[in-house]
Amino acid sequence: MDPMIAVVNRQPGRLWAVLQFPLLRLVAAFAVIFLLILCEQFGTRSIGISPESPLGALLAVLLAVVVLVIYTCMVRFIERRPMAELAPKGAQRFTARGILMGAALFCVTMLLMKLDGAWTYLGMAPLSYLAYPCVAAFSAAIVEEIVVRGVLFRIMEESLGSWIALAISAAIFGLLHALNTGASVVSTTAIALEAGVLLAAAYMYTRSLWFVMGLHFAWNFTEGGVFSTPVSGGPTEGVIRVGFVAGKDWLTGGRFGPEASSPAVLVCTAAGIAFIILSVRVGRIVPPFWKRK
């Protein structure tokens, strides 16, 4: 197996067999992290803290840091292995590449929309408008990538193999956005294809959470902070103001935003397929346990 693929360091004894059992690790990590997220979400809402306030931004960053600490503890103390997917060596390089790719993918998406007359330029806002979208994109990238790619995809891949893990994690990622403002069957399917497949495939090839965090961050930040378009249904205020043409929801994504648009599905799914092909070529596909020697 490729040395870049994370492998649990199996320990002797029944207790370790239970603690390191894939389903238990997956359920336990999900339970702890989602409980933490729910406490943060309901807590801020109940006492009226706006996400676009200094305290709301601080809490979002703290949430991301705590989730990262929880994941680190699981890897080091339960899986008993080096955390190769978040190794300090190469972190800046992988993150920078992910950021460049995420920003490029969204810019290409907006260019395709513009070529079809789907939006018009409305003006500029002060650069200070970048601050809160940047924090929101930062927190979402860390939390969602740890949960969906670091925990769900990686642990499922360990037992069921890359293909099943990719399909299930992509579907779940789409469903996690199904209750957002403006969500529909179209937007849920779009998120599963363009983001779920792309991010899982990108992790499958690079084996770096730094890369997928950078990609995820840059897409959301460029979408909301730069172009002021809705991010997964959430309203944003960025520096470049654009107005979408009414009656072209299939092209613009409607209330949900560009992530539910046909150009986004086309561009990001194509990138995801490219990562899958690269993963196959370099031998980073994990077979299911019943096909291993």
Binning pLDDT at 50, 70 and 90, where does residue 1 land?
Answer: low
DSSP string, 110-155: HHHHHHTT-EEEEEE--GGGGHHHHHHHHHHHHHHIIIIIIIIIHH
Q: pLDDT tens digits for 225-239?
A: 999 999 998 888 899
Residue 128 has pLDDT above 80, yes or no: yes
Q: pLDDT tens digits for 168-224?
A: 999 999 999 998 888 999 999 999 999 999 999 999 999 999 999 999 999 999 999
Which of 50, 74, 69, 70 lies closest to 60, judged by CA?
A: 50
pLDDT of 212 reads 98
Q: pLDDT tens digits for 107-121?
A: 999 999 999 999 999
CA distances 262 to 40, 184, 212, Å, are 34, 14, 22
Q: pLDDT tens digits for 30-83?
A: 999 999 998 888 878 888 888 778 888 899 999 999 999 999 999 999 999 999
pLDDT of 179 reads 87
d(CA 249, CA 190): 13
Cβ atoms of 233 and 255 within 8 Å: the answer is yes
Least confident of 39-53, 244-258, 277-291: 39-53
pLDDT of 210 reads 97
For residue 194 the two structure tokens come to 């363009």
Cβ atoms of 268 and 103 within 8 Å: the answer is no
For residue 154 the two structure tokens come to 């990686």
pTM of the model: 0.94
Binning pLDDT at 50, 70 and 90, where does residue 248 land?
Answer: confident
d(CA 212, CA 246): 33
Q: pLDDT tens digits for 264-276?
A: 999 999 999 999 9
User: Who contacts 236 (Cβ-Cβ below 8 Å, separation ≥6)?
Assistant: 133, 136, 223, 224, 225, 228, 229, 230
Cβ atoms of 141 and 61 within 8 Å: the answer is no
Q: pLDDT tens digits for 69-107?
A: 999 999 999 999 999 999 999 999 999 999 999 999 999
Mean local confidence (pLDDT), 128-143: 94
